[in-house]
Structure 1
Amino acid sequence: MNIALWSIAGLLAFAFLAGGAMMLAQPKEKLAASGMGFVEDFSSNTIKTIGALKVLAAVGLILPAALDIAPILVPLAAVGLVLLMVGAALTHLRRHEAPTIVANLALLALAALVAWGRFGSESFTG
């Protein structure tokens, strides 16, 4: 189970690091043109904040446990991603973007699995 949780956390970290970095690096208009239509509903500062939260969560899924410094941050980062994906799913639901909601729910489920596993039987602190 530990290997599965590390693998899922690594996959999530990669996905959210890439997505967050893109949101931080590109202007709102370029993000909208690349298919991220939801950015039209938010200010540039909010988009940058969401990007920063994604990057911080990605780092929080891996580094605390890998460096053995405050490993409790791993499940907390996963819970943060669950909350972020709830917000994303609600945003896409409001915009009637059903295919994107499916992706949000899949990422939510993976993050919830990491949180459950790292708070539970495969905790780094237990």
Structure 2
Amino acid sequence: MSTAYWIVAGTLALFYSYAGTLKVIRSREQLRPMMTWVDRVPLPALRALGAVEILGATGLMLPPLTGTAPWTASAAAIGFVVLQTGAIAVHLTGEDRRITLNVGLAATAAVTAWLATRL
């Protein structure tokens, strides 16, 4: 079970580390081609979202690695499920109706939360 957690959580953490870093360091113009919704969100909120994604990715990896407060890995994964639920709502209320990635990320985060309880 531990190997499955590290594979799934590691993949999720890599994705969110990358996506969060892009949101923190890139301009709106640079993000627009891959994230059409960025014009609907204030820039400070976009930066905060990126920081939350980076912190969540850290929460998936660091606690199980150190053995300190391992329950936070489950909390981080559940947080990503909530985050993707909000992302789906943002996509469906705007022009961009592509939610396949968001549904996949929510499902992966749910599996990660379940696996984290078995560490």
Task: Quickly name the TM-score band, shorter chain normalised.
Answer: over 0.9
Equivalent pair of 2:91/2:97 in contact (CA under 8 Å): yes
Give 1:102's aligned amino acid. T
The match for 1:22 is: 22
Structure 2: runs of 5+ lacking an equivalent: none
Show CA shifts across 1:42-89 (max 9, x none): 000000011011100111000111111211110000011001100111
SS at match of 1:98: coil
Equivalent pair of 2:84/2:102 in contact (CA under 8 Å): yes
The match for 1:58 is: 57
Give the distance between the partners of 1:87 and 1:27, measured in 2 at CA.
22
Equivalent pair of 1:85/1:104 in contact (CA under 8 Å): yes
Greater relative CO (CA pairs within 8 A, separation 6+): 2
Give 1:74's aligned amino acid. A
Runs of at least 4 residues off by over 4 Å: none
Count how many residue pairs are aligned between Structure 1 and Structure 2. 119
Give 1:20's aligned amino acid. G
The match for 2:111 is: 113
The match for 1:40 is: 39
Q: Report the RMSD for the aligned CA atoms in angstroms.
A: 1.2
Q: TM-score, normalised by structure 2?
A: 0.94
How many angstroms does 1:96 deviate by? 4.2
How many angstroms does 1:90 deviate by? 0.7
Identity %: 33
Give the distance between the partners of 2:6 and 2:102, measured in 1 at CA.
20
Alignment of 1:60-79 (within 5 A): 60-79=59-78
Q: TM-score, normalised by structure 1?
A: 0.89
